[in-house]
Structure 1
Amino acid sequence: MASLKALKLRIGSVKSTQKITKALNMVAASKLRRAQQNAVAARPYSARMIEVVGSLAAKITPGPQSPKLMVGTGKDDTHLIMVATGDRGLAGAFNSNIVRAARRKADELTAQGKTVLFYIVGRKGRPVLQRFYPKQIIAQFDTTEIKAPSYADAQAIAKDIIDRYTTDGIDVVHLAYANFRSTLVQEPTVDQIIPVPPRADEEEASGPASLAAIEYEPDEEDILNDLIPRAIAVQVYRALLENQAGFYGSQMTAMDNATRNAGDMINKLSIQYNRTRQAVITTELIEIISGAEAL
């Protein structure tokens, strides 16, 4: 049986932990609202940008002047998966779910005979990926100093990815992140961002709209070379915003559960402490009574 001193120290330790988890829960809740607003506000712009570029990709006939970011390299051998996670833990399975989705995609591509490489955004994804794919991580973008994702950060990441795509023999680029649904649900997603996938409805469309000619002013190549990197940066930006909202939602839920679990443990330890204390008092009373009777 644990001593009274040990139980008292344990109760004090759990109470201190409970204060920390409650504070983290309140901090995450206060930051979640702004992060959620930012993520929701970015969705229509991102969806419309993907729709426009995907529509163009479906209508353009590939040629030597067509941007590689839109028509691809003509091969499907080397795939780069950009894994965007958080820099901190204490958020339940948020980071591990993103990494797990990226690993599933990597295993699927590897089974098809493809070469898979990884580009890591955030700190939490590297330890797991390095354990399973030690030679396939080509770079990591440091986000430890970024408190709130900005479009400039997304542009820097997108530029680095595009540069590697054009120089490192990469054929397809995927983006793994978590779609924020609610504080309880963050959906791990892996989307192809390079080359730009054509819209499914454009591929199946028929009628005058699908046969319409597209005229570019001033020049097709200049417009697409400017538009497509912007579209990729917008998708990266949206992923960063979705991740931030998802992280705070997961952290708030995890810390709320931890706070309640700590409360349950304090109650159990308090009951055990009171029973042990009562047993000690009873034993002392018995000794006193036995000693008095012996006299």
Structure 2
Amino acid sequence: MFRLAAAQAVRSAPSVRNYATLREIENRLKSIKNIEKITKTMKIVASTRLNKAQRAMQSARVFNKSETEFNENAEPKIVKEEGEEAKPEKTLLIVVSSDKGLCGSIHSQISKSARKRTAELDNNVDIVTIGDKVKAQLLRTHNEHLKLSFSGVGKGEPTFDEVALICDEISKLGHFENVEILYNKFVSGVSFEPSKFSVFAADAIENAPGINKYELENEEVPQTLSEFSLANSLLTAMAEGYASEISARRNAMDNASKNAGDMINNYSILYNRTRQAVITNELVDIITGASSLE
């Protein structure tokens, strides 16, 4: 009887391990299914918000088109006096992003573009970040150039009131002959590309070769045009970036859902095979035990 009990204990040991493995696979499978539900829901939400984001982007493009035509006609340029080549003016670099993640490489791409542009300008820049994601990435490499940052953006479509408040804070940094806005331009539902707007100061607009094509009522018009150009370009950049982010998040959640579906299929096959192995081992134990009792 002692030998029989020992033999049964040895045969039942693998079954205990199989049961534990089966339970682990089942828990893992449930976890992946829950994640798939979340990613599918986030994809539906992003798809719903994308249409609204694209409408806001198209509205912003209409206003920016008139500014582009003005720059093409007036041709404003930074005019340097003699001796200024050795000490070029600092460029204000405004990098537009958001606070939200789970949208692929959209934040890292604009951060990479900002680092590249900073190197092209020989690090003679002051950086303003809009969004916590790009701020966190640039703090690691260009902490000494970061002068101002804004958070709480990306929750909805940008508005002119929001942009005007941001521009008021930026104007407190001082006078810059050249201002560049880096943003993610919306190309299509599956692609985007880092782009930039150039915003000229009042002096550049006043000394533009083609400014005589327009009637200036008073001396404050160039300054007003410069301030409006900054707000208008920033609004367009934020609208383009918001649409690009929503599109990238939808694509990222779609890919995540597909990957979760593949993992569910693989784990379902593994679960069924493990369960079949457990049943087979139990049958072997029952048959062996019955044979030994005869």
Q: TM-score range by the shorter chain?
A: 0.7 to 0.9
| Residue pair 1:80, 1:174 contacting (<8 A) in 2 also | yes
Q: CA RMSD in A?
A: 2.6
Q: How many residues were matched structurally?
A: 268
| Residue pair 1:53, 1:196 contacting (<8 A) in 2 also | no
Look up the match of 1:129. Answer: 138
Residue 235 (1) aligns with residue 272 (2) = no
Q: 1:63-110: CA deviations, max 9, x gaps?
A: xxxxxxx75675534222111101100101111111111111112222
| Residue pair 1:178, 1:189 contacting (<8 A) in 2 also | yes
What amino acid is the match of 1:130? Answer: L
Q: 1:129-154: CA deviations, max 9, x gaps?
A: 00011221101122348532101112
Look up the match of 1:102. Answer: 114
What amino acid is the match of 1:150? Answer: T
Look up the match of 1:84. Answer: 96
CA distance in 1, matches of 2:212, 2:64: 25
Equivalent of residue 150 in structure 2, options 137, 141, 150: 141
| Deviation at residue 274 of structure 1 after TM alignment | 0.6
| Residue pair 2:100, 2:154 contacting (<8 A) in 1 also | no
CA distance in 1, matches of 2:214, 2:194: 38
What amino acid is the match of 2:170? Answer: I
What amino acid is the match of 1:46? Answer: N
Look up the match of 1:191. Answer: 197
Q: 1:213 to 1:73 in 2, by over 3 A?
A: closer
| Residue pair 2:98, 2:151 contacting (<8 A) in 1 also | no
Q: 1:137-189: CA deviations, max 9, x gaps?
A: 101122348532101112222233333242xxx44321110001122101111
Equivalent of residue 63 in structure 2, options 45, 56, 62: 45
Equivalent of residue 28 in structure 1, options 42, 46, 50: 46
Q: 1:4 to 1:270 in 2, by over 3 A?
A: same
Q: 1:179 to 1:294 in 2, by over 3 A?
A: same
CA distance in 2, matches of 1:73, 1:237: 29
Equivalent of residue 17 in structure 1, options 23, 35, 42: 35
What amino acid is the match of 1:218? Answer: E
CA distance in 1, matches of 2:78, 2:124: 20
Identical-pair percentage:
30
Residue 173 (1) aligns with residue 179 (2) = yes
Q: 1:78 to 1:228 in 2, by over 3 A?
A: closer
TM-score (normalised: structure 1)? 0.83
Look up the match of 1:269. Answer: 267
SS in 2 for 1:187: strand
Look up the match of 2:163. Answer: 154
- Structure 1, unmatched stretches of 5+, are 59-69, 204-209
Look up the match of 1:258. Answer: 256
Residue 93 (1) aligns with residue 105 (2) = yes
| Deviation at residue 53 of structure 1 after TM alignment | 4.0
CA distance in 2, matches of 1:229, 1:146: 25
Q: 1:217 to 1:239 in 2, by over 3 A?
A: closer
TM-score (normalised: structure 2)? 0.83
Look up the match of 1:283. Answer: 281
| Residue pair 1:43, 1:238 contacting (<8 A) in 2 also | yes
What amino acid is the match of 1:266? Answer: I
SS in 2 for 1:160: helix
| Deviation at residue 280 of structure 1 after TM alignment | 0.8
Q: 1:273 to 1:72 in 2, by over 3 A?
A: farther
Larger Rg: 2
| Residue pair 2:35, 2:260 contacting (<8 A) in 1 also | yes
